[in-house]
Amino acid sequence: MLVRRAAGAALAGLAVAGAAAVATAPWSTLGSRTAHGPVDAAQAASHLRVSADRSARPVGADRLTPGGRYSYTFTVTNAGDRPVRGLVARSEPAAGEGAMRLVSVSDPSCHRYERVVCSFPPLDAGERRTVEVVATAAGSGHSGDVLRISTYLASFSTVARGSVSYDVLGRPVSTVTAFG
């Protein structure tokens, strides 16, 4: 009886250790050996894409003016074959706070602060999310000044002792528009 319990405990320990090894293995080493559950965005970074409009579109005018409204879109794509969790997209003016005042953001996963911050629910394999942003340009711009908006991907993940890590994934893309 004691031998059976010891053998059962040993098998249970091996099962837990094996599951932990699979759960923490890098995405590229798992292949088709595991279920298609979500992976952390940091593990899937090479399969994530962000694109953005090259320039902002004036709203209700033919050119960007100080204090005028404009819109632009950015798209986040999971080009991998596994769902991705913990993905964040940020879109912000390169000039800092006050360069734009956000009016609306089309995706309910996104929030307006001095910048757009999107904390997406798990993105399925092949899924893409397009976000339209409407903002008001700073009132102090002059003809020829440039509005530059950087959009990039990042991830939040839990690290040792409950700390949270915020990592930028890849390079930012720019939306650049000159005041008219």
- Give the separation between CA 30 and CA 47, rounded to whole angstroms: 15
pLDDT average per 10 residues of sequence, the chain (180 residues): 42 38 44 65 94 96 91 97 95 76 96 92 97 90 86 84 83 92
CA 132, CA 106: separation in Å to the nearest integer? 5
Give the pLDDT of residue 113: 84
Query: pTM to 2 decimals?
Result: 0.75
Six-digit token string for 130: 């397009």
Greatest distance between any 2 Cα atoms in the chain: 87
Phi, then psi, of 67 in degrees rounded to 5: 80, -5
Which pLDDT score, from 0 to 100, does residue 127 have? 97
* Cα–Cα distance measured from residue 43 to residue 52, given in angstroms and rounded to the nearest whole number: 23
Q: In this predicted structure, what is the pLDDT of residue 87?
A: 95
Give yes or no for a contact between 90 and 149, defined as CB atoms under 8 angstroms apart.
no
- What integer pLDDT is reported at residue 128 of this predicted model? 97
